[in-house]
Amino acid sequence: MIRELLAFALGAGVAAAVITSESDGLAAELRQAIASGPNTDAGGQFAACFTPYADCTGMIVDRVGQAQRQVLVQAYTFTSAPILKALAEAAARGVDVRVILDRSDQDGSRSAARWLAGHGIAPLIDDQVAIAHNKVMVVDGITVITGSFNFTRAAQERNAENLLVVEGRPDLAGFYTANWQRRAAASRLFAP
């Protein structure tokens, strides 16, 4: 499954390595994929976005707006009103929206956890690690959104950030979904 990512990375001249102490199946599969080499039939579509030059928030809102079944979110800092609104609208139209936040997003008047809970989305708080620094969305099990881009206004308007959208890749989405599930199992339900 991960072989296609390796093909992309190796084709671009990027070295790939997996350093992990985990003995879970994902780590073993990654090591096996690297050892066996890349599959050059990667497929899928890739879109990159860079701030301050482009509307990365808009790309995210668009993909969430297209969701039909599920959106899984892992967010470190989450204050973007357009993205929060898109998630609430997706949930209102019956999409299964699940969110894991870092503990820093649970307190205060600008709390994403409090806002989501007030809009019918029960966020989880990942507080078993120093920081839950992921910035990931998995849409309908086939699209992965990731990069340095925090889901914030500052990321869009003031920072130099990157966002990568990989569509049509259920294999890659499966890896991110499995990681989402592992972090969800280590998280607790937000209690306002």
Whether 155 contacts 149, CB under 8 Å: yes
Which of the following is catalytic: 102, 105, 126, 135?
Answer: 135
| Cα 124 to Cα 142: distance, rounded to the nearest angstrom | 22
Q: Which of 102, 105, 126, 140 is catalytic?
A: 140
Which of 85, 119, 133, 171 is catalytic? The answer is: 133
Whether the CB-CB separation of 69 and 140 falls below 8 Å is answered with yes
Please choose, from the candidates 142, 50, 2, the residue with its C-alpha nearest in 3D space to the C-alpha of residue 16. Answer: 2
Alpha helices by DSSP H, listed for 101-190, are: 112-118, 153-157, 170-185
Ranges of H-type helices in 93-191? 112-118, 153-157, 170-185
User: CA dist 7 to 12, 36, 71, 83, 123, Å?
Assistant: 8, 11, 27, 32, 35
* 140 belongs to the catalytic site: yes
User: Which tokens is 27 given?
Assistant: 């780590």
133 is an active site residue: yes
Which residues are catalytically annotated? 133, 135, 140
